[in-house]
Amino acid sequence: MVFETWEEKTQKPFAFIKDHVLLQQATLLGAAVEVCRNKLTDEVVYTTKAEGKFQYKTENDKADFEYVSVAFSTNDPEIA
C-alpha cells in the first residue's frame, strides 16, 4: 500500500464534501477561500518546527510579575 504525502492530499478534492450537512448554509465559501489564501503565504506555511515553537513561546510565555504571587507557609520557627 502506498501512502500519499500531505502535499499530494492537498491537491485532491475532499470526496465527502458533497454530503456535508452544513453545505447548504455555506454561502460564502469562495470569499473564505480568498481570505485564507491571502493569509497563508510561503513565509507562514514554510517554517520549521523549531521556529514555530520559538515563536509560540515568545508570544505566549509571558507573565506580569505585578500579579504573580506564591503562597508560602511553614511550621518551622527558624524560617518564620
Residue 31: C-alpha distances to residues 10, 13, 22, 28, 36 (Å): 19, 18, 17, 5, 9
Residue ranges per structural domain of the chain: 26-61
pTM, entire model: 0.28
CB < 8 Å & 24+ apart, contacts of 19-22: none
CB 43 within 8 A of CB 51: no
Q: What is the pLDDT of residue 65?
A: 67
With cut-offs at 50, 70 and 90, classify the pLDDT of residue 58.
confident
**Rounded mean pLDDT of 59-73?**
70
Tell me the C-alpha distance between 29 and 18, whole Å: 13
Q: DSSP letter at 3?
A: P
Tell me: the pLDDT tens digits for 2-50?
A: 778 888 888 888 888 888 888 888 888 888 888 888 777 666 666 778 8
pLDDT computed for residue 42 by the predictor: 60
